[in-house]
């Protein structure tokens, strides 16, 4: 029936997205700070979080490593004020990240609706 194991995965992804928003916010806040370098985080280990059902030995298995976000410095032109923040990049990333978050919320919302519909015996809800 309902595969609610997906919830923790989505929750986790939402948490990551919210944390990345902090990183991007910091970049915007420090747009005029001398010596500041643009920072971002990567989600390379994110996939390993998926708790997949292993029914065949040839299936990919989740390695279960610590899904730590990795911080990296974004390469960019350093301006006259010794600062590498590119406002256009930051605003576009902020918007993208925000939309990703909203998409995840939308997903959870739909999932909850399905569950509610099941509880209410379908049509009677």
Partner 1 sequence: MSLFSALEINTTGLTAQRRRAEVASSNLSNTDTTRTAEGGPYRRKDVVFQTTTFGKELLNANVRNQGVEVSAVVEDTTPFDRRYEPGHPDADSDGYVSYPNVSAMEEMANMMSAARSYEANIGALSIIKTMINRTLDLGK
Site string for partner 1, 74-113 (x = CB under 8 A): -------------x--xx--xx--x--xx--x--xx--x-
51 interacts with partner 1 by CB under 8 A: no
Site string for partner 1, 9-48 (x = CB under 8 A): ------x--xx-xxxxxx-xxxxxxx-x--x-x-------
Nearer to partner 1, 54 or 102 (CB): 102
Contact 53, 6 (CB under 8 A): no
> How far apart are alpha carbons 69 and 97 in whole angstroms?
15
State residue 73 phi and psi, 5-degree precision: -90, 130
> How far apart are alpha carbons 35 and 98 in whole angstroms?
27
């Amino acid at each position: 029936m309902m595969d609610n194991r997906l919830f923790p995965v989505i929750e986790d992804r939402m948490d990551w997205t919210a944390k990345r928003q902090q990183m991007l916010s910091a970049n915007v806040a420090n747009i005029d700070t001398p010596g500041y370098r643009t920072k971002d985080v990567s989600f390379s280990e994110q996939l390993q979080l998926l708790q997949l059902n292993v029914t065949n030995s040839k299936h990919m298995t989740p390695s279960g490593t610590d899904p730590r976000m990795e911080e990296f410095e974004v390469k960019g032109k350093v301006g006259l004020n010794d600062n590498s923040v590119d406002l256009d990049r930051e605003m576009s990333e902020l918007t993208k990240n925000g939309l990703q978050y909203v998409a995840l919320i939308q997903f959870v919302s739909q999932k909850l609706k399905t569950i509610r519909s099941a509880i209410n015996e379908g049509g009677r809800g």
